[in-house]
Structure 1
Amino acid sequence: ANLLIKLGIGNGDVIALCCGNCAEYLMLLLAAAELGVSVTTCNPKHTQSEMIHQFNVVAPKLVIADSNIVEKLEHVSEAVTAIKKIATLGKHEKYICLRQSLNQESSVKEYVPVTSKRDISNTPFVLPFSSGTTGKPKAVQHSQDHICSPFVFCVRATLKLPNHGICYCIVPMFHMFGMVTSLSAITQGCKLIVGTKFEASSSLAAIEKYKITHAPLVPPMVIAFSKENLQKYDLSSMEYILSAAAPLPVKVGDNLRELWKTVKINQCYGMSEAAPLSGCLEPDCPKESVGRLAFNLQVKVVDVKTGKELGPNLDGELRYKGPQVFMGYYNAPEATRNSFDEDNWFRSGDIGHYDERGYIYIVDRLKDLIKYKGFFKRQVSPAEIERVLFENPKIADAAVFGVPDNEAGELPRAFIVKRKESLTASEVHEYLKDRLSSYKQLRGGIIFRDSIPKAQSGKVIRRSLRSVESKL
């Protein structure tokens, strides 16, 4: 906090963390909380245009980044006038090195007093970006109260994580899943081992070396573990795997439990707007379920056509109310209004139901987001890819949807109507290469068509896309 004050940061300011996993990530988050500063978290692999969009929305005064993306950030800062300073975690000849400065600050005995009055209930603390289906990604506002709710009730009570535990964070801290599970671990008194890049063999070696007891993972990581020779490692310390961000196939979970008999695999359900965890899967509940509702959270199921509230075992849109539901989208009042119903219940966009015992089941997605490798690579908005495709003068129409993939979960695929017959799939791939991040590329393929199935309103019927695709 003292260092941020010296950099001219104070109550009401916004800073951006644009870096990979590191211990300093959590230190900076906690310092910002102390000062009443808002933090937007950014994927360092974002393209220049994606960063410009994000920073124009939230207007960070300071950007803290990995030193290897400084050149990209310099171009971004030229387009975003709010950015006044850039700092790096590693050494850089032009910018202050946060890691070195933090080490120097730790030896200082006199600190600048923190005098700001913080409103922990109504002031944004973190501003992660969540992809939508109707436009560009939006900044999700969570106060300190919102973040504390999943710490205390969901992670500690529902998952029953051990106080003596050693948590391994390999999922990205720029996403809510990695951020919340990491912060909950240290606030509970657990040790935290921070991983920077996932590889199954090195992660298993880390579990053995550091005697890891629990780890938040996304399904592709669980799948990767199940393909390794687990007998090579001493994994007896491991107690829990928390799988989230995308559905974990039942067979994958069963297979890993058979291979790794000492571990419990809890599948968790949540979203950026309703800070993880909105629900979690305990070992003794139905495998198709995402578990019972988290503490202090209410849910109702609503018929999407009539708006009528439904009872058990009837599918409708899941709507939530509780202290961990977000405050709204930053600087997007219309999008915020559309995300809540007239009684202030959050419209999740997920279709599902609950049974007589209170277990929740997700059966479909109203919002059609594509989850490529869970939150490890973030969700992909079809509308965002379509928007970029529409900017190509050779494309008359386009629609993007997800197709199943054993390794990635889902891959983006596009139906494209040509404006110029000379257009090829390789041209489209090349066109997208520098305009969208790697995980948003059309890895599921490109199919040229004469038309796109649409409703009378002009809205793309994405279920029809999948139906047409299955017949090809």
Structure 2
Amino acid sequence: MSEKESLVEIKNKYVTSTLSLNLDGSVYTLIDEKLKMTEDKHVLIDCLSNKSWTAKELRIAIIKVGVYLIEIGVKKGDVVAAYCPNSDLQAIFFFATVAIGGIYTGCSHLAPFPEINKIIQETKAAYLLGCKQNLDICEQLLKNQKSLKKMFIVDGESNANFASVLSIINEKHVGDISNFFLISSTITGEDSAQIVFSSGTTASPKAILLSHRNIYADFGETSPEFNMISEDDTVACYLPFSHVVGSCVLSLALYGCAKAVIMNSDSGMYKDFQCYKVTSAYIVPAVIDYFNKQEAEKFSLKKVCSIGDWLPEKVGTEFVQKFKPIYFSQLYGASETGVVTMHSFNNGVSDLKSNGVPVFDCTYKIVNKQTGEALGANEVGEILVKSPQVCKGYLNNPELTSQCFDDEGFYKTGDAGYYDERGNLYFAGRYSSLLKYYGLFISPDEIEEILLKHEAVQEVAVVGIDAGVYGQMPKAFVCLCEKFRGKITEKELFDFVNAQIEYTKTVEEIEILETLPKTSIGKIDRKKLQNIIREHHKTYNSVEV
């Protein structure tokens, strides 16, 4: 039996990891134990300020903020909403909040007022963490949202309206530390830690409730079997901490005794990767594609996980050939499920097609979406997942929560996929994104894959045009590589794709855009593309075929 096969057991059409993590406690207590083991090591650095923290300094700062939060009345179950860029101070505030049983939520500091306003309303947030850039909006929220009790700021001084996080950390007098440790010791893996909102790129965003266990169940990625993060690594933390990947990568880095490098939208990401010699990163396909256009010199990145969206094989291949990482994996997961599959470390860069094998304590199955019957190897169906990473459910929505789990407790992802004889999972698209036209299903992913084979195409997204009673026809939005801009027409791309696909699956229209809209974490925003279609198209009364 090979090493890879030993990580997986396939029995009765269930694909199960043979590895078990056996962790208990809270996110804070598990990370605090690691910080105590590496007190003199620099474990956190903020790119914008260039401030570096040793493990000991970070522990003290988290404790100080935690003590302060307890003193002003923050209690278990209270929600803190973040509306500020990633920073060392926000990281400290996150860990202090969850340490005492608070629940962290929020959105990107670049999000408009309606988004943060809705988040506070839905979560009934009691505390707000803001920044000077959004100060007017924060003060408006504090005035109008009845649930909000107090505001904190990550980059300013305290005043009558808000407290400065830096001032709290710099305060020489510390309150009752023993009470902080007493309260933090009572927080368990089943307690709520974070509310994250799905990206809403294909549907309305949903409030996802995550427990401490949901977050630290991903810590197996620091194990020798996967080794995405080790104590010698420098890890990029660029996704918002209010997003599950942002908070998980930050937590993974500290649990793995590595150095976490905190980046935000105000810093040049590629320059930061070079300057701080980042060796490990979880990055979206758009960032991987961007890196492919940069120089390979002074680039230390050796371990890469592609996350958040489907990675075109040619983009992954180009990255591997150019930067020569020792490990490259396109993992499969979601905000609701955490990481489901990724490649073992021994797999290196040998497989850019599959999404790897199930991680610690994870089982998945592929089922017929209509009957629920479990399918065998190489049969396409819906991916269902059961693991400690799977979320507690949707906030204040027990009906939706119940609908998303089957009778065996498996979460229904809504994704199509299949597995091979070795337990490798292959993502085949979202059922919700499949288009139905004249009674036939059309896969946007299949059209996208064909268009990406054209040398001029940098990015592509296919969405549906309303064709009335006939269903939906696919329209492709394309972004061209810089050297081909102005030299390739929509008709040339139209002919290219239709020469490689049967007419029943053909693309109706192709539109070239300068850039494709992205979400705050770098995923292509298909809802915005749908809005473009609605602005330019009316429902078809008749369709020529």
TM, length-normalised to structure 2: 0.66
Misfit runs of 4+, over 6 Å: 398-402
1:352-391 to structure 2, matched below 5 A, reads 352-368=417-433
* Greater displacement, 23-32 / 318-327: 23-32
Q: Report Cα offsets for 1:28-87 as digits up to 9, x if no partner.
A: 222122211111132222222222222111111101012211222333345431111122
- Is this contact kept in 2: 1:285–1:291, CA < 8 A? no
1:214 corresponds to which of 271, 276, 280: 280
1:317-328 to structure 2, matched below 5 A, reads 317-328=382-393
Work out whether 1:154 is the aligned partner of 2:232.
no
SS in 1 for 2:324: coil
Correspondence for 1:125: 193
Correspondence for 1:333: 398
Q: In the alignment, residue 340 of structure 2 is paired with which amino acid?
A: S
Whole-angstrom CA distance in 2 between matches of 1:324 and 1:22 = 26
Correspondence for 2:130: 65
- Is this contact kept in 2: 1:88–1:95, CA < 8 A? no
Whole-angstrom CA distance in 2 between matches of 1:156 and 1:223 = 28
* Greater displacement, 204-213 / 126-135: 126-135
Task: Structure 2: state its 5+ residue gaps.
Answer: 1-65, 435-443, 446-460, 482-523
Q: Report Cα offsets for 1:197-234 as digits up to 9, x if no partner.
A: 277xx43333333222112211111111111122xx32
Which structure's CA Rg is the greater one? 2
1:310-459 to structure 2, matched below 5 A, reads 310-368=375-433, 403-406=476-479, 441-442=528-529, 445=533, 446-451=535-540
Q: Report Cα offsets for 1:399-429 as digits up to 9, x if no partner.
A: 9998454589xxxxxxxxxxxxxxxxxxxxx
SS in 2 for 1:367: helix
Give RMSD over aligned pairs. Answer: 3.3
- Is this contact kept in 2: 1:158–1:294, CA < 8 A? no
1:167 corresponds to which of 223, 235, 246: 235
Whole-angstrom CA distance in 1 between matches of 2:251 and 2:202 = 32
How far the C-alpha of 1:311 sits from its partner, in A, is 0.9
Give percent identity, aligned residues only: 24
How far the C-alpha of 1:342 sits from its partner, in A, is 1.9
* Greater displacement, 349-358 / 89-98: 89-98
**Kindly tell me: are residues 228 and 285 of structure 1, through their superposed partners in 2, closer, same or farther at Cα, counting changes over 3 Å?**
closer
How far the C-alpha of 1:334 sits from its partner, in A, is 0.9
Q: In the alignment, residue 536 of structure 2 is paired with which amino acid?
A: I
Whole-angstrom CA distance in 1 between matches of 2:285 and 2:401 = 30
Whole-angstrom CA distance in 2 between matches of 1:450 and 1:323 = 45
1:36 corresponds to which of 101, 118, 121: 101
SS in 2 for 1:265: strand
Count of residues paired in the alignment: 397
TM, length-normalised to structure 1: 0.76
SS in 1 for 2:536: strand
Whole-angstrom CA distance in 2 between matches of 1:95 and 1:54 = 21
Whole-angstrom CA distance in 1 between matches of 2:203 and 2:140 = 24
1:196 corresponds to which of 251, 264, 268: 264
- Is this contact kept in 2: 1:216–1:244, CA < 8 A? yes
SS in 2 for 1:183: helix
Whole-angstrom CA distance in 1 between matches of 2:423 and 2:118 = 41
* Greater displacement, 248-257 / 39-48: 39-48
**Kindly tell me: are residues 263 and 273 of structure 1, through their superposed partners in 2, closer, same or farther at Cα, counting changes over 3 Å?**
same
**Kindly tell me: are residues 262 and 139 of structure 1, through their superposed partners in 2, closer, same or farther at Cα, counting changes over 3 Å?**
closer
Correspondence for 1:249: 312
Whole-angstrom CA distance in 1 between matches of 2:192 and 2:131 = 24
Correspondence for 1:424: none
How far the C-alpha of 1:124 sits from its partner, in A, is 1.1
Whole-angstrom CA distance in 2 between matches of 1:207 and 1:284 = 21
- Is this contact kept in 1: 2:362–2:385, CA < 8 A? yes
